[in-house]
């Protein structure tokens, strides 16, 4: 069964909404999801160990939109794969690239995120997150994080 990935919209200048069509265009089930890159300001207080490698502590309760803008989107459709190449530009004039791939025989979607150098303010960096939101299903308080590409970790909010 062939599947198709369609760019639905850009809800903000830096976020994307996709539509995964299971079974091919026009005949299958549609699943929409959002993609966005966001950041938290790391905790730098003196009372506790600050944020750093493998330690995620933030000053913010909610993430903030990463300051870059989509400047181009290229879409390639072949017999064996579909790919979207999204280019972002940050305020320093550096490009980030996101490649989104779908093998039509599979519902698996691969995201390859190559982020430009992360700007710092003084001695403080940012904790960058890559976010996906499924608009059709509830996660029941469960989400997964990627520990520097070594292991996917299950997290439970409850």
Nearest in space to 114 (alpha carbons), one of 68, 56, 57, 62: 68
Q: Which of 60, 61, 68, 73 is nearest to 8 (CA)?
A: 73
In CATH, the architecture of 4-156 is Distorted Sandwich (2.70)
Domain ranges of the chain: 4-156
Choice between 17 and 50, residue whose per-residue pLDDT is larger: 17
**What pTM, to 2 d.p., does this model score?**
0.75
Find the mean pLDDT for residues 22-41: 75
Calculate mean pLDDT across residues 31-44.
81
Model confidence pLDDT, tens digit, residues 54-87: 556 677 778 888 888 999 999 898 888 889 999 9
Report phi then psi at 83, rounded to 5: -145, 140
Q: How far apart are CA 12 and CA 101, in angstroms?
A: 22
> What is the C-alpha separation between 63 and 155, in angstroms, rounded?
17
Q: How many helices (H) and strands (E) does the chain have?
A: 0, 11
Partners of residue 143 on adjacent β-strands: 155
């Amino acid at each position: 069964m062939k599947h198709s990935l369609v760019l639905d919209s850009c809800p903000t200048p830096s976020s994307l909404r996709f539509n995964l069509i299971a079974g091919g265009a026009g005949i299958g089930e549609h699943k929409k999801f959002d993609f966005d890159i966001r950041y938290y300001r790391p905790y730098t207080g003196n009372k506790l160990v600050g944020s750093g490698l493998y330690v995620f502590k933030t000053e913010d309760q909610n993430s903030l939109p990463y300051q870059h803008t989509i400047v181009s989107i290229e879409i390639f459709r072949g017999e064996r794969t579909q790919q979207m190449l999204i280019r972002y530009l940050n305020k320093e004039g550096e490009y980030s690239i996101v490649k989104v791939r779908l093998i039509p025989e599979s519902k698996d979607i691969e995201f390859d995120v190559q982020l430009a150098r992360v700007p710092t303010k003084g001695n403080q960096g940012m904790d960058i997150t890559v976010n996906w939101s499924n608009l059709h299903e509830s996660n029941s308080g469960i989400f997964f994080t990627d520990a520097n590409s070594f292991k996917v970790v299950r997290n439970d909010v409850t």
